[in-house]
Amino acid sequence: MAKKIVVFTGAGMSADSGISTFRDSDGLWENYSIEEVCTAEAIVRDREKVISFYNMRRRDVLSKEPNAAHIAIAKLEKYFDTEVVTQNVDDLHERAGSTRITHLHGELTKLRSSANPDLIVPIEGWEQGLTETAPDGSLLRPHIVFFGEAVPMFENAAAIVYSADILIVVGTSLAVYPAASLVQYVRDSSVPIYVVDPAELNIRSRNPITHIRERAAVGMPQLAEQLIKSLK
């Protein structure tokens, strides 16, 4: 029976494909504060600004390609029982070929009803119209977990992490909660944790931790090859 690998990915994965993150001082976030475009209050206060911002983000993502880390993670599926849990809202894991992906913070390629968070519809292309409505008649909003909102997929993600024989963390220094607390849901202290990120680690764990201090697109392919070779 194949070992279960769970890969938890953060903003560093997307950054290596040229996608700007909200911690960047340049790119799409340069002229916006989180309060302006990433809260439930913001979309009520200035719907046009919020919809326009996510249209720009969507257009940006559609122009980018999966990097070597996305490809390496998808390759693991051929050798291991592999699931991805990601904080990223782009579709680069999907485009790289990964088939089992849980998005903690939503997906740019989808919209949802303002009245019913479970009513989710795909969006064609990058542009959402200001007055587009969901099947229930309410205004559509980006399918994004705004700051201050609950993370509806968290319990599901915790159960996935609990099932891991090996946990890999890529492109995050585990500074953003509640997602960062996911590593605490490993089944027991024998589960090895690999962290691929150039930053200092912000993690406390009784588990054996291997820190690969490289960018995602450099360190993840190396780790994937190492794990695949261990099977031979």
Q: What residues are labeled active site?
A: 105
The angle at the Cα of 78, spanning 77 to 81, to the nearest 5 degrees, equals 45
Exposed e or buried b for every residue in 41-76, given b needs 16+ CB within 10 A?
ebbeeeeeebbebbbebbebbeeeebbbbbbbbbbb
* Calpha distance 150→134 (Å, rounded): 21
Q: From 105, 78, 79, 109, select the one nearest 94 (Cα to Cα).
A: 109
Q: From 25, 213, 39, 57, select the one nearest 126 (Cα to Cα).
A: 57
Return the axis-axis angle of helices 216-229 and 68-76, rounded to nearest 10°.
20
Beta-carbon count within 10 A of 220 CB:
30
Q: From 190, 227, 226, 224, select the one nearest 209 (Cα to Cα).
A: 190
